[in-house]
């Protein structure tokens, strides 16, 4: 690889319409476990991410969903190269960045930004908001027209904050406002891709709607691609054009949002859809049979053989223990809708719409998807 990466136009279609901005193939991260005394040696590995294939098109929003511990954050950190992959390949804008050095990564770093889950710990409490937002520009030697301070004030306004709050400290803001600061910081370098790792899960539901709306505005109006990580299908449904469902280090189903929601073929996806918050349950829905996932996610140190979901799957058969199901397009599903299951669910379009009961605030999001500049 040459010393510095150049960034040609992204190559190749993702879904026939969009050009691919990011693609990962066989992405793997095994965290070694050391033990023994007096000489420590490797005794095992946490298979946090194990052969993930994923792509994000230019300006596209892809949701990455799954239960706690399934490897979502690790995937995001591998893509942003905060972690070094154990195996696999990461291609950004046609360039292999899998093992690029810090120096080689420099031009790419500004184009791929991350928004973190916790708006309380991700902002330096000793820095003013102005310093927090301008530091990525200074580190990357970017001098915006009109000066850095003017740009910071513009960014504050863009994310729905008062530009006069430039000199305030993070503790003077609410959780939702802090996450807006995190969004402004991510936007400071005009990124092409934002990896948003559960950006609203630490916020109240009413505030979640505002921040999701802000991110959607950013995605649509600025054409920024998103990998939106969430454990809640309701949120990514609103935000993402395509969804990837992860279980224990692997993508088990991926496809267009509507196809995944209307025709989930993987039992785990089906179960996740059934588990959407039940706050809005009323008399009409109270008795409806739902799929409830029982038991915990198995340890990623010793994942089950064959299909990793088999220990919780109500459809598991012998084959599921011996053969890992490949991620493939099942008959009847549209191109790009891939499922990894030996005994997939039948398409259940009608049942799905009834099954999914949304939290009222998230339902309001669906009904009014456009951005409101509300300040919390
Ligand atoms: N640095 C690390 N060393 C060892 N194991 C790790 C490390 N980071 C993550 N893990 C393990 O890898 C697995 C995946 O973790 P990850 O944080 O990616 O999950 P997640 O899907 O983001 O979960 P959550 O929804 O709780 O944020 C977990 O079992 C976790 O304990
Ligand atoms: S492969 Fe078997 S265990 Fe895995 S999801 Fe499909 S039916 Fe269930
Ligand atoms: Mg996480």
Tens-digit pLDDT profile for residues 212-230: 888 988 888 889 999 999 9
Distances (CA, A) of 306 to 31, 103, 270, 322, 341: 21, 40, 20, 5, 10
Joined together, the tokens standing for residue 327 give: 């991620």
Provide the pLDDT for residue 18. Answer: 75
Instruction: State which of 29, 30, 31, 64 you would mutate to test the pocket of ligand 1, scoring each by most atoms of that ligand within 8 A of its C-beta.
Output: 31
pLDDT above 80 (res 275): no
Of 260, 223, 217, 167, the residue nearest 374 (C-alpha): 217
Q: What is the distance between the alpha carbons of residues 276 and 303, in angstroms, rounded to a whole number? A: 26
Domains (ranges, CATH) in the chain? 20-111+191-367 (3.40.50.300), 122-190 (no CATH)
∠ at Cα 133 (131, 137), nearest 5°?
A: 95
88: region left, alpha or beta (phi > 0 left; psi from -120 to 50 alpha): left
pLDDT above 80 (res 365): no
Cα–ligand 2 centroid distance for 244 (angstroms): 17
Provide the pLDDT for residue 364. Answer: 55
What is the C-alpha R_g of the chain? 21
Are 49 and 74 spatial neighbours (Cβ–Cβ below 8 Å)? Answer: yes
Q: What is the pLDDT of residues 50-105, one digit of tens each?
A: 999 999 999 999 999 999 999 999 999 999 999 999 999 999 999 999 999 888 88
Provide the pLDDT for residue 310. Answer: 94
Give the ligand at the shortest distance from the Cα of 298.
1
Give the ligand at the shortest distance from the Cα of 325.
2
The structure's pTM equals 0.86
| Ligand 1, atom nearest to 70 Cα | 21
Q: What is the pLDDT of residues 166-208, one digit of tens each?
A: 999 999 998 889 999 999 999 999 999 999 999 888 888 878 8
Provide the pLDDT for residue 7. Answer: 38
Tell me, using a 6 A CB cutoff, whether residue 252 lines ligand 2: no
Give the ligand at the shortest distance from the Cα of 72.
1
- Which is higher by pLDDT, 274 or 329? 329
Cα–ligand 2 centroid distance for 264 (angstroms): 13
Percent of the chain, pLDDT > 90? 55
- Which is higher by pLDDT, 29 or 236? 29
Provide the pLDDT for residue 16. Answer: 52
Provide the pLDDT for residue 278. Answer: 39
- Which is higher by pLDDT, 111 or 354? 111
Provide the pLDDT for residue 3. Answer: 40
Number of alpha carbons in the 13 Å side-chain half-sphere of residue 347: 12
Tell me, using a 6 A CB cutoff, whether residue 340 lines ligand 2: no
- Which is higher by pLDDT, 17 or 143? 143
Provide the pLDDT for residue 218. Answer: 87
pLDDT above 80 (res 295): no
Provide the pLDDT for residue 120. Answer: 79
Mean pLDDT across the chain, nearest whole number?
Answer: 83
Of 345, 294, 302, 348, the residue nearest 67 (C-alpha): 294
Q: Choose the weakest-confidence range: 7-21, 56-70, 120-134, 275-289.
A: 275-289
Burial class (CB in 10 A: 0-12, 13-18, 19+), 39: exposed
The protein residue with its alpha carbon nearest to ligand 2, atom 6, reads 341
Q: What are phi and psi of 184, to 5 degrees?
A: -60, -40
Provide the pLDDT for residue 351. Answer: 46
- Which is higher by pLDDT, 276 or 141? 141
Cα–ligand 1 centroid distance for 73 (angstroms): 7
Provide the pLDDT for residue 35. Answer: 86
The protein residue with its alpha carbon nearest to ligand 1, atom 18, reads 71
pLDDT above 80 (res 14): no
Instruction: State which of 271, 291, 316 you would mutate to test the pocket of ligand 2, scoring each by most atoms of that ligand within 8 A of its C-beta.
Output: 316
Looking at the chain, how many residues does it have? 376
| Ligand 2, atom nearest to 308 Cα | 4
The protein residue with its alpha carbon nearest to ligand 2, atom 1, reads 341
Q: What is the distance between the alpha carbons of residues 108 and 198, in angstroms, rounded to a whole number? A: 23
| pLDDT-based confidence at residue 375 (cuts at 50, 70, 90) | very low
Q: What is the distance between the alpha carbons of residues 309 and 266, in angstroms, rounded to a whole number? A: 10
pLDDT above 80 (res 143): yes
Provide the pLDDT for residue 363. Answer: 52
∠ at Cα 301 (295, 304), nearest 5°?
A: 55
Percent of the chain, pLDDT > 70? 83
Cα–ligand 1 centroid distance for 195 (angstroms): 16
3-state SS string for the chain: CCCCCCCCCCCCECCCCCEEEEEEEEEEEEEEEEECCCCCEEEEEEEEEEEEEEEEECCCEEEEECCCCCCHHHHHHHHCCCCCCCEEEEEECCEECCCCCHHHHHHHHCCEEEECCCCCCCCCCCCCHHHHHHHHHHHCCCCCCCCHHHHHHHHHHHCCCCHHHHHCCHHHCCHHHHHHHHHHHHHCCCCCEEEEECCCCCCCHHHHHHHHHHHHHHHHHHCCEEEEEECCHHHHHHHCCEEEEEECCEEEEEEEHHHHHHCCCCHHHHHHHHCCCCCCCCHHHHCCCCCCCCCCCCCCCCCCCCCCCHHHCCCCCHHHHHCCCCCEECCCCCCCCEECCCCCCCCCHHHHHHHCCCCHHHHHHHHCCCCCCCCC
Joined together, the tokens standing for residue 5 give: 């990466």
């Amino acid at each position: 690889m040459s010393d510095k990466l150049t960034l040609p136009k992204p190559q190749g279609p993702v879904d026939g319409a969009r050009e691919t901005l990011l693609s990962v193939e066989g992405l793997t991260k095994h965290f070694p476990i050391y033990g023994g005394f007096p000489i420590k040696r490797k005794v095992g590995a946490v298979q946090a991410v194990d052969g993930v294939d994923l792509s994000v098109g230019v300006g596209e929003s892809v949701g990455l969903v799954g239960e706690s511990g399934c490897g979502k954050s690790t995937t995001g950190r591998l893509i942003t190269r905060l972690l070094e992959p154990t195996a696999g390949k990461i291609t950004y804008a046609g360039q292999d960045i899998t093992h690029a050095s810090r120096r080689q990564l420099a031009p790419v770093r500004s184009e791929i930004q991350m928004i973190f889950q916790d708006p309380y710990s991700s902002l330096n409490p000793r820095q003013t908001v102005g310093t927090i937002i301008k530091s990525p520009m200074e580190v990357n030697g970017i001098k915006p027209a009109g000066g850095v301070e003017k740009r910071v004030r513009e960014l504050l306004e863009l994310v729905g904050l008062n530009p006069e709050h430039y000199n305030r400290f993070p503790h003077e803001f609410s959780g939702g406002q802090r996450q807006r600061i995190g969004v402004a910081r991510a936007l400071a370098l005009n990124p092409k891709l934002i990896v948003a790792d559960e950006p609203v899960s630490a916020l109240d539901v009413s505030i979640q709607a505002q921040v999701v709306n802000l991110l959607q505005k950013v995605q649509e109006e600025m054409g920024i691609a998103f990998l939106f990580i969430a454990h809640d299908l309701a949120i990514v449904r609103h935000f993402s054009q395509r969804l990837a469902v992860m279980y224990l280090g692997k993508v088990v189903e991926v496809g267009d949002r509507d196809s995944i929601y209307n025709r989930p073929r993987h039992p785990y996806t089906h179960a996740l859809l059934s588990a959407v918050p039940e706050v809005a349950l009323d008399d009409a829905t109270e008795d409806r049979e739902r799929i409830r996932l029982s038991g915990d996610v198995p340890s990623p140190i010793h994942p089950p053989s064959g299909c990793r979901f088999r220990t919780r799957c109500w459809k598991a058969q012998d084959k599921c223990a011996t053969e890992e199901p490949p991620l493939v397009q099942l008959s009847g599903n549209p191109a790009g809708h891939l499922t990894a299951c030996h005994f997939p669910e039948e398409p259940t379009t009608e049942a799905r719409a009834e099954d999914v009961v949304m939290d009222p605030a998230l339902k309001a999001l669906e009904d009014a998807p456009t951005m409101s500049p509300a300040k919390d």
